[in-house]
């Protein structure tokens, strides 16, 4: 697990406010009901540094993305060959300590391998795996592109929802 890690976060200046991208983890922010900036905005590296250190990093199967929970109530998301984007911010009326406890308790529902993913494969790697007919899983097993490893973990192509 990446508890108390401080991975560097790079971002682009592209804005994504698509409610499908935001999904349920963004709460009411996808509808514009929360205070502050809308979910899905990107930030410069210095702004993300201002969002505190990383508390947790995990792979979200539902989003096919890497998620980083930051210490000041911001959650950012990164998909393959994309930059980090703000996914959600804690609600103003929720104390930060309670928000952190809630986020930490939700990690218990994740599979161990999801908590161990630090980086996503590149688009180039994914394309090569697709062409070769052999793909890796996040746990390092070699399987068919639409397969699962002996540990039940899907191939990267499946985990990222590309096939």
Under the banding of pLDDT at 50, 70 and 90, the label for residue 9 is very low
Cα separation of 155 and 30, whole Å? 30
The pLDDT of residue 40: 52
More confident residue, 108 or 39: 108
Verdict on whether the full-model pTM lies above 0.95? no
Under the banding of pLDDT at 50, 70 and 90, the label for residue 52 is confident
The pLDDT of residue 15: 35
Are 151 and 113 contacting, i.e. CB atoms less than 8 angstroms apart? yes
Asked whether residue 98 carries a pLDDT value surpassing 60, the answer given is: yes
Mean pLDDT of 128-132: 91
Average pLDDT, the chain: 77
Asked whether residue 48 carries a pLDDT value surpassing 70, the answer given is: no
Asked whether residue 102 carries a pLDDT value surpassing 70, the answer given is: yes
Cα separation of 133 and 121, whole Å? 16
Under the banding of pLDDT at 50, 70 and 90, the label for residue 50 is low
Residue from 78, 72, 68, 73 nearest 121 by CA: 78
Asked whether residue 38 carries a pLDDT value surpassing 70, the answer given is: no
Burial of 153 (0-12, 13-18, 19+ CB in 10 A): buried
Cα separation of 14 and 18, whole Å? 12
β-strand pairing of 135-136 with 74-78:
unpaired
More confident residue, 75 or 36: 75
């Amino acid at each position: 697990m990446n508890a108390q890690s401080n991975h560097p976060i790079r971002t682009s200046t592209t804005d994504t406010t698509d409610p499908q991208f935001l999904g349920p983890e963004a709460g009411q922010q996808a509808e514009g009901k929360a205070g502050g900036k809308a979910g899905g905005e990107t930030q410069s590296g210095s702004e993300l540094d201002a969002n505190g250190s990383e508390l947790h990093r995990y792979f979200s199967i539902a989003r096919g993305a890497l998620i980083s929970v930051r210490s000041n109530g911001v959650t950012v998301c990164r998909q393959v060959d994309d930059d980090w984007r703000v996914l959600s911010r804690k609600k103003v009326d929720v104390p930060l300590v309670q928000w952190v406890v809630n986020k930490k308790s939700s990690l218990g529902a994740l599979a161990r391998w999801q908590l161990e993913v630090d980086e996503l494969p590149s688009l180039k790697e994914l394309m090569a795996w697709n062409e070769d007919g052999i793909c890796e899983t996040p746990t390092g097993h070699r399987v068919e592109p639409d397969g699962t490893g002996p540990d039940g973990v899907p191939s990267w192509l499946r985990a990222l929802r590309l096939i």
